[in-house]
Amino acid sequence: MHKKLPLLLTGSLAGVAILISSLSAADAPAAPASTSTPAPAPAAASASAAPAAPAASSAPAMAPSAPAVKADMSKVPAASDKKDLTFDKDIAPIFKASCVGCHGGARPRSGLDLSTKDTALKGGRGKSDIVAGHGDQSNVLLFAADAVTKSEMPPLSARTRATNPEPALTKDQLADLRAWIDQGAK
């Protein structure tokens, strides 16, 4: 029995490898219907076979993807008609009034510092807080518009506290913020 144990373990490992590769294949996106190249047949699993190197992707670089949050876009106003919005003239006063109290200073919450254009565009931990040219994908706008449940900014509790409440952005401020982002966040 002890002599067969290494063979059993090797067989079990090969079975696990096959199971993992079949699960990975099931999660992979399906090939487009217009492709004429047939899919390669799966290689036979072998305990001594080296893992195959991942194939290089030939897909073109994509535009920024939609945010990882589920947003109710009906709460996000359309961009304002204002042109040539700038951070210093139009957006900084909005952020200063409602955001910089938490998202500024030496230790900004979530690593997001909205006190300057450079730090705002750098983003926080999410790195998709402001996606230039894509207001609908910018978490700063989505959170400020209350489009993401339980991620409203300023937080609902901060808006209603008895001392020093932080005001929510108005529809006009949100429209200007969206226009600034859509225009390239200049």
Whether 149 is covered by a domain: the verdict is yes
Lowest mean pLDDT among 8-22, 95-109, 141-155: 8-22
Whether 21 is covered by a domain: the verdict is no
Whether 13 is covered by a domain: the verdict is no
Q: Is-contact 110 126, C-beta < 8 A?
A: yes
- Give the burial class of 117: count Cβ atoms within 10 A of its Cβ; 0-12 exposed, 13-18 middle, 19 or more buried: middle
Query: Given this model, what pLDDT does residue 65 score?
Result: 47
Question: What whole-number percentage of the chain has pLDDT above 70?
Answer: 62
Query: Which residues lie below 8 Å from residue 94, measured CB to CB, with a gap of 6+?
Result: 169, 173, 176, 177
pLDDT tens digit sequence for 28-47: 444 444 444 444 444 444 44
pLDDT tens digit sequence for 65-74: 445 578 999 9
Q: Give me the chain's average pLDDT, please.
A: 76
Q: How many structural domains compose the chain? A: 1
pTM recorded for the entire structure? 0.63
Whether 41 is covered by a domain: the verdict is no
What gap in Å lies between CA 59 and CA 70, rounded to an integer? 26
- Residue keyed to tokens 């699993």: 45
Dihedral, 95, 101, 104, 110 alpha carbons, nearest 10:
-100
pLDDT tens digit sequence for 112-136: 999 999 999 999 986 779 999 999 9
Q: What is the mean pLDDT of residues 7-13?
A: 49
Residue 78: is its pLDDT beyond 90? yes
Which residue range(s) make up the domain with 123? 73-182
Q: Which long-range contacts (CB under 8 A, 24 or more apart) does 106-114 make?
A: 112/140, 114/140
Whether 53 is covered by a domain: the verdict is no
C-alpha angle 4/7/13, rounded to 5°?
A: 140
Query: Which residues lie below 8 Å from residue 59, measured CB to CB, with a gap of 6+?
Result: none
Query: Given this model, what pLDDT does residue 68 score?
Result: 59
